[in-house]
Amino acid sequence: MKSQILEEGTLPELKEGYYIGDEISKDHPYFVNKKINSGPNMWPSADVLPDVADFKATALDYYAQVVDLVKDIMKVLALTLDLDEAWFDDFVNGAVATMRLLHYPSQPPDSPAKLTRGIGAHTDFGCVTILLQDKVAGLQVYDYTTKEWLDVAPTPGAFVVNLGNLMMRWSNDKYISNLHRVINVSGAERYSIPVFFSGNPDYVVECLPTCVKEGEQPKWPPITVEQAIRNGYADSYGRAERWKKEEEEKKKAKGEAQVLVKEVVVA
């Protein structure tokens, strides 16, 4: 809880999550070279979760199927951008993806006014996100035209699909990374499972040839997948760490001031 601030100016977020990625060994090049979000998963012990084997098998099976779904989506996106459907093959081969099992406690009704969020307003760092919601609402997407936040009602049997910042850079803003947040004032616990598809960490994302006119300059410079994702993590987790440090300094200063007042009174 309270380890991230994705929206500048808000309080640390009221969510907790369990990260799961591709199950790779410690001698895998990604783990050896400390690539983003790569390595053997850390599973609960049987003492904590007696059916951990079933949990592990189910989680990895779901992860693999959603990653395959994203690869199909990438083929469709290529066609919509006037490219061959195999254009993104090098990007999806050796791709890194992260699944998060997220839990949001219910928040007070005045949470929005008090800048408390389950997840603050943000755009996703990677390329495509596949989100499975439970029955509890809370997800909102910003409509830039009306300047309103729209509720995304949970729909049984359906995914929410987000395009992230990498696809926006790639398409030269033809596709926009959508701004979204979670504020859970339902009175119930909310759970969701996003799978963030980042891509091959060494792949360089640069403007697609069909998304820039001849003689024009792309809006975004080239960047590797790994650097783009690391930048997003550094901003959001760093923002929360700075907030905590500032709060500690305020408490310390307040405590020192109270001690000074007592000393003056005694004197």
pTM summary value: 0.87
pLDDT at 238 over 80: no
* Per-residue pLDDT at 241 exceeds 80: no
Retrieve residue 121's tokens. Answer: 């307003």
Residue 193: CB partners within 8 Å, gap ≥ 6? 62, 99, 100, 101, 102, 131, 132
Average pLDDT over residues 152-179: 95
User: pLDDT-derived band of residue 264, with 50, 70 and 90 as boundaries?
Assistant: low
pLDDT digits (tens, 9 = 90+) for 167-222: 999 999 999 999 999 999 999 999 999 999 999 999 999 999 999 988 899 999 99
Q: Could you write out the DSSP letters of every residue in 117-157? A: -SEEEE--SSSEEEEEE-S---EEEEETTTTEEEE----TT
Average pLDDT rounded to a whole number, residues 244-256: 75
pLDDT score at 96: 94
- pLDDT at position 8 is 86
CB of 149 closer than 8 Å to CB of 165: no
- Give the pLDDT of residue 203: 96
Place of tokens 């499972």: 193
What pLDDT score does 226 carry?
A: 94
Mean pLDDT confidence for 234-238: 72
C-alpha dist (Å) from residue 139 to 83, 151, 182, 238, 252: 33, 6, 4, 24, 37
Per-residue pLDDT for 261 more than 70? no
> How many angstroms separate the CA atoms of 38 and 28, rounded?
9
Q: Which of 83, 75, 97, 91 is nearest to 23 (CA)?
A: 97
Calpha distance 90→34 (Å, rounded):
20
> What is the dihedral sign for C-alpha 174, 175, 177, 179?
positive
With 80 as the cut, is the pLDDT of residue 251 above it? no
Q: What whole-number distance in Å separates Cα of residue 198 and Cα of residue 93?
A: 11
Residue-wise pLDDT tens digits, 34-63:
998 888 999 999 999 999 999 999 999 999
Sheet of strand 139-143: strand arrangement: 119-122, 180-182, 139-143, 148-151
Nearest to 200 by CA among 165, 170, 226: 226
Q: pLDDT tens digit string along 2-42?
A: 888 888 888 889 999 999 999 999 999 999 999 988 889 99
Q: What is the overall mean pLDDT for the chain? A: 91
∠ Cα 7 9 14 (to 5°): 60
pLDDT value of position 38: 87
Count of C-beta atoms within a 10 Å radius of residue 181: 21
Place of tokens 């993590």: 233
